[in-house]
Structure 1
Amino acid sequence: MSDYKAPLENIRFLMNDVFNFEKHYGRFPSYQDASPDMVEAIISECARFCENELAPINHIGDKEGCTFNDGEVTTPIGFKDAYQKYIDAGWQGLSFSTEYGGQGLPQSLGLVKAEFMGTANWSFGMYPGLSLGAMNTILAHGSDEQKNTYLPKLTSAEWTGTMCLTEAQCGTDLGQIRTKAEPNQDGSYAISGSKIFISAGEHDMAENIIHIVLARLPNAPKGTRGISLFIVPKFNVDEQGNLLDRNTVNCGSIEDKMGIKASSTAVLNFDGANGYLIGPENKGLECMFTFMNTARIGTALQGVCAAEFAYQKSLYYAKDRLSMRSLTGSKFPDKIADPLIVHPDVRRMLLTQKAFVEGGRAMILYASKAADKFADADNEDIRQLADQKLGFLTPILKAFLTERGFDSANLGIQIYGGHGYIKEWGLEQNLRDARIATLYEGTTGIQALDLIGRKVMLDRGKQITAIVKEILGYCKDHSMISSNPQKNRMHKFVWPLSKAAANWQQYTFRLMLKAKSDRDVVGSASVDYLMYSGYILMAYMWAQMAQAANEKLTSGEGDKEFYKAKIRTAEFYFERIFPQAKVHASLMMKAPTTLMKLEAEAF
């Protein structure tokens, strides 16, 4: 059975050869410490931590799960020790402000760290992962006093954070929340109500948990316009961050889940708990979007992690397992049978996993450059453009990559056959763990509505126009010119990509026109539109990876077999996967008639 190995060579290829992160970091005065040597040291050390500390307890965590006893939650064997090592190494503050004890390094490096952690042990990564959203929310909307009180301990990972949105009667439709916030004489609020599905809501790894809670003030407007945001600590703290008495927030139970069993998913009961308003009154949902966007990009990574885990396991098994002979004749005549990897259908599944994980990782790092600009650019116009681009990309990344990650996990079981259905190999755990990623932080359908409804139609197509212009500009720069062999080699990638990008824009505006006369068009087209968008963006990534690999082969630098594999995988993506975009295009342009014609009573 294979062990997890961080994909360092692939990360280096993307950061150095495809996206030129050295030049990117050089544009930011605050990133001067992110030298190539520093970046290499960080990703190498993070790889060792994840391989040696987190991967070995992944299966243990799934087998044991978390234990609930009278409001207290105990994490599986090894988790608490690993978390202390995480604290000691300072990993939580890697990409956070130096003002509160962080290292001030780029957001993109934090996403590389998150991928390694997530593939090695997604359940473990949930604990510090949710904290990052809480930290970003307090940093963006908290008062100076709140920042000084909570951020140092959150940055060190001595405390963790949560996001408390969902209630029993509402998930997506947050306008229905009932949790109340009554003003106290000292300026604080008494928070009362129950929240469900709270990841890392209660556990034994940190001395305090800082809950970010949506609640309603008295006489607040109905619906989402009447929601405010509050900080509610598990233990009350003084202004210096010292722990005081236990707050009246308690864990009522934890969920018995399909997957990510070592991640505590809690029901939290707030009984007049001390809370502190963060941001303006009745603007809580707007402030919470800081947290939600952070979480959605992190969740998109789970798709990449699930695909990487499945691919590593599948590749090992396909090379090791002997079964039948190749259809074109024996490839290993000295063995009783040929290994699985000689068979075309097994190769189809392996190449699909490889295309999705490497293409998905490229999509994340591509978006991470916008995240860096939004976080640290000096120019406000650049920050706003980056925010708009990131807002457009986020629902695509979250939904498309988690769905493809689940597909890859499923293919892993198929490659193993019956052995994939057995727990000891880890494939069925990966599939169970991956399933939640398409649900939390907004289901695939919700992400699709966000993309087409808010990010495209309300924006009047400005961001889709900008992305298409970028892709078409890239295609023009790398189109076929007979005197340039490098561009000749790129023709098979840029020609279909340019046609798809142009169609993407045309289809988008046609859908916008259709929606004016029938609003159901938005809902009926949304998921297919998102998947169509995802396949095009991934094609853009694979074209750039093929270009970089071709340039390296031409120059004679590096590992030739590695670069050849990139080009072969790009060819596979464009020939065998990219055509699926046309099916989604056809479906999204259909009228919603057959969807809506059947009466509800007739189902």
Structure 2
Amino acid sequence: MADYQAPLRDIRFVLNEVFDAPSLWASLPKLAEYVDPETADAILEEAGKITSGVLAPLNREGDEQGCKWNDGEVTTPDGFREAYQTIVEGGWNGLGGNPEFGGMGMPKTLVAQFEEMLQASNMAFGLAPMLTAGACLALDAHGSEELKSKYLPSMYSGVWSGAMDLTEPHAGTDLGIIRTRAEPQGDGSYAVTGTKIFITWGEHDLAENIIHLVLGKLPDAPKGPKGISLFLVPKFLVNEDGSLGERNSLSCGSIEKKMGIKGSATCVMNFDGARGWLVGEPNKGLAAMFTMMNYERLGVGIQGIGAAEASLQSAREYALERIQSRAPSGAQQKDKAADPIIVHPDVRRMLLTMKGYVEGGRTFSTYVAQWLDIAKYAEDAERQEYAQGMVALLTPVAKAFLTDRGLDACIIGQQVFGGHGFIREWGQEQLVRDVRITQIYEGTNGIQALDLMGRKVVGSEGRLYELFAQDMATFIEENAADPALRPFLEPLAAALERLSDVTEHVLGQADRSPEAIGAASVEYLDLFGLTALGYMWAKIVKAAAAKAEADTSGFYTGKLKTARFYFDRLLPKTVSLAESIRSGSDSMMALTAEEF
């Protein structure tokens, strides 16, 4: 298996040439204070070294060993503690954190590139800083000044880590029926009691303290999701001077035996009257959680891209070295017994499909990150509101489409290896197992599709969709005279028209059929994602075309040829998806339960 190497040239191309991120940062004064092109480039370079040189070599061993649970304590695989200290020493946990409390204040457009490298090199390990960053985001946005001052500096430094405790044995998607209770103690604290499951890195031996953000209900809370509050519950209580006090009344009851990400601990957490503090307003816990969900769900989408990138690197190397049969056009390496398998059309189809999804997906994740930065830092209210609408619309697409294609790409990479792809030593089967969870956690992809179709498109009566459609239409119109883009703009415009027509169709059906939204949602998200990646590939062509003629490395010409493949072989999938959606819900709902 190829050793993972951070794709820095591709990342810099997307960040600097496709999106000109430095200009965006300069236009946002709150960001310009902390980041400039030189700082960003230094961060990317160092991130590449750490992920390729420190984290990637631990990936397979972490999978082989897994985490171990004994009497409530969790031991991480060999090398993880030392690697975590490297992350701590570099300040990576606080890369996007609030500078007022010790964070580095970097933009999401830059942080997203680090996240891809982190997740591609070692997804199980990468979940630890990812969960800490999410907890910090929610705490920074909704916590009191006292809580932020007390907890954020040590979480940003990595001395303490964070965990998000949402799911319960009987309550996954339907958080409104959680049973965890929080009783006021009269001193501003609460006694939190309940059981949470599937808590990633809920217990471990990496950090001195673990800060849990726990969803629970107050005694007088309304029923359903409107009665959920958020509580900060530390593993060790924190004294007034910041030192650690006694152990809190919470424990890890067990860890799950899982299909993948075995190097991370997925915990059952028991809270037995543990002391906690309210984050945000009473009964507004879901609002606090959703503050970080847009970032976390994009982060999960980036996990899909990272795994796919690692799979692509290995599959490409294998295809260049493995010799089997002769090329259809005749022997290419006559001095050898056979030609490398990259000469065969089907192998090229697989590799190009992977490239189309990986490089287009990386561009799309950066596109979404750009809107997150504008939504957070823009000083113009209208620009900020526009960006918030784009984030709301695009987040479920980023999470679900990128992870669906991430699994597809990892399976394709496994297929390139043939029988060797099924063998552990080559690494492809681990990538398939690891990436599979990304379609499930942080809201299953079916739920993401319902969110897109039901809440964002139908719920806004199409207004949020129009923001994206207009952005695409403007790009097509503004570049109509560009000869390099002309071959791509006609099929892109057709795909956009197809997506818009289907959107109108479902909007019209939603009032008449209660099943219309659910029946259309998954195919609609795929249709949306394929069209969005077509838009991204058009942006890639625009950035690469001017430099392709003088390109001797094949970097820019390779982008143009991969774009051609995407438009010829992948974007046309939107036609069949549109027909599936238009068929409605009748055939889906016709069977009785007994007929299944």
Normalising by the residue count of structure 1, what TM-score does the alignment of the two structures yield? Answer: 0.97
Return 524-533 or 463-472, whichever deviates more: 463-472
Verify the 8 A CA contact 2:294 2:391 in the aligned structure 1: no
Verify the 8 A CA contact 2:200 2:267 in the aligned structure 1: yes
Q: Where do residues 273-422 of structure 1 align in structure 2 (5 Å cutoff)?
A: 273-422=274-423
Task: Please tell me whether residue 535 in structure 1 is matched to residue 530 in structure 2.
Answer: yes
Alpha-carbon distance between aligned partners in 2 of 1:92 and 1:374, rounded to the nearest angstrom: 22
Name 1:484's counterpart in structure 2. Answer: none
SS in 2 for 1:368: helix
Name 2:575's counterpart in structure 1. Answer: 582
Name 1:571's counterpart in structure 2. Answer: 564
Deviation at 1:104, TM superposition (A): 1.5
Alpha-carbon distance between aligned partners in 1 of 2:382 and 2:183, rounded to the nearest angstrom: 39
Name 1:95's counterpart in structure 2. Answer: 96
Q: How many correspondences in the alignment?
A: 595
Return 71-80 or 222-231, whichever deviates more: 222-231
Deviation by residue 1:303-340 (Cα, 9 ceiling, x = unmatched): 10111011000000000111011111001111111001
Name 1:30's counterpart in structure 2. Answer: 30
Question: Aligned Cα RMSD in Å?
Answer: 1.1
Deviation by residue 1:407-441 (Cα, 9 ceiling, x = unmatched): 00001111101111110111000000010000001
Verify the 8 A CA contact 2:16 2:22 in the aligned structure 1: yes
Verify the 8 A CA contact 2:261 2:434 in the aligned structure 1: yes
Name 1:526's counterpart in structure 2. Answer: 521
Alpha-carbon distance between aligned partners in 2 of 1:271 and 1:380, rounded to the nearest angstrom: 45
Alpha-carbon distance between aligned partners in 1 of 2:508 and 2:22, rounded to the nearest angstrom: 43
Deviation at 1:378, TM superposition (A): 2.4
Alpha-carbon distance between aligned partners in 2 of 1:468 and 1:124, rounded to the nearest angstrom: 38
Where do 5+ consecutive residues of structure 1 fail to align?
482-486
Q: Where do residues 41-190 of structure 1 align in structure 2 (5 Å cutoff)?
A: 41-190=42-191
Where do 5+ consecutive residues of structure 2 fail to align?
none
Alpha-carbon distance between aligned partners in 1 of 2:13 and 2:203, rounded to the nearest angstrom: 39
Alpha-carbon distance between aligned partners in 1 of 2:242 and 2:301, rounded to the nearest angstrom: 33
Name 2:15's counterpart in structure 1. Answer: 15
Name 1:601's counterpart in structure 2. Answer: 594
Deviation at 1:373, TM superposition (A): 1.3
Verify the 8 A CA contact 1:255 1:266 in the aligned structure 2: yes
Verify the 8 A CA contact 1:133 1:290 in the aligned structure 2: no
Alpha-carbon distance between aligned partners in 2 of 1:239 and 1:231, rounded to the nearest angstrom: 16
Give the counterpart letter for 2:129 in structure 1.
P
Alpha-carbon distance between aligned partners in 1 of 2:64 and 2:266, rounded to the nearest angstrom: 16
Deviation by residue 1:427-464 (Cα, 9 ceiling, x = unmatched): 00000001000000111110000001111111111121
Name 1:227's counterpart in structure 2. Answer: 228
Q: Where do residues 384-533 of structure 1 align in structure 2 (5 Å cutoff)?
A: 384-479=385-480, 481=481, 487-533=482-528
Alpha-carbon distance between aligned partners in 2 of 1:75 and 1:108, rounded to the nearest angstrom: 31
Deviation at 1:101, TM superposition (A): 0.8
SS in 2 for 1:214: strand
Deviation at 1:559, TM superposition (A): 5.0
Deviation by residue 1:371-390 (Cα, 9 ceiling, x = unmatched): 11122222333322222211
Give the counterpart letter for 2:17 in structure 1.
D
Alpha-carbon distance between aligned partners in 1 of 2:500 and 2:354, rounded to the nearest angstrom: 28
Alpha-carbon distance between aligned partners in 1 of 2:578 and 2:243, rounded to the nearest angstrom: 57
Give the counterpart letter for 1:577 in structure 2.
L
Give the counterpart letter for 1:553 in structure 2.
A
Return 375-384 or 234-243, whichever deviates more: 375-384
Give the counterpart letter for 2:261 in structure 1.
I
Deviation at 1:68, TM superposition (A): 0.3
Verify the 8 A CA contact 1:550 1:563 in the aligned structure 2: yes
Verify the 8 A CA contact 1:200 1:265 in the aligned structure 2: yes
Give the counterpart letter for 2:522 in structure 1.
V
Alpha-carbon distance between aligned partners in 1 of 2:558 and 2:317, rounded to the nearest angstrom: 17
Runs of 4+ in structure 1 displaced over 6 angstroms?
A: none
SS in 2 for 1:489: coil
Alpha-carbon distance between aligned partners in 2 of 1:271 and 1:390, rounded to the nearest angstrom: 38
Alpha-carbon distance between aligned partners in 1 of 2:488 and 2:242, rounded to the nearest angstrom: 55
Verify the 8 A CA contact 2:214 2:231 in the aligned structure 1: yes
Normalising by the residue count of structure 2, what TM-score does the alignment of the two structures yield? Answer: 0.98
Task: Please tell me whether residue 592 in structure 1 is matched to residue 585 in structure 2.
Answer: yes
Deviation at 1:57, TM superposition (A): 0.3
Alpha-carbon distance between aligned partners in 1 of 2:500 and 2:88, rounded to the nearest angstrom: 47
Alpha-carbon distance between aligned partners in 1 of 2:360 and 2:377, rounded to the nearest angstrom: 26
Deviation at 1:204, TM superposition (A): 0.2
Alpha-carbon distance between aligned partners in 1 of 2:240 and 2:366, rounded to the nearest angstrom: 38
Deviation by residue 1:390-413 (Cα, 9 ceiling, x = unmatched): 111000010001000000000111
Deviation at 1:34, TM superposition (A): 2.3
SS in 1 for 2:94: coil
Alpha-carbon distance between aligned partners in 1 of 2:372 and 2:242, rounded to the nearest angstrom: 30
Alpha-carbon distance between aligned partners in 1 of 2:259 and 2:577, rounded to the nearest angstrom: 30
Deviation by residue 1:470-525 (Cα, 9 ceiling, x = unmatched): 1111111222x4xxxxx223122111111211232222122111110101000000
SS in 1 for 2:230: strand
Name 2:4's counterpart in structure 1. Answer: 4
Alpha-carbon distance between aligned partners in 1 of 2:370 and 2:389, rounded to the nearest angstrom: 13
Verify the 8 A CA contact 1:149 1:238 in the aligned structure 2: no
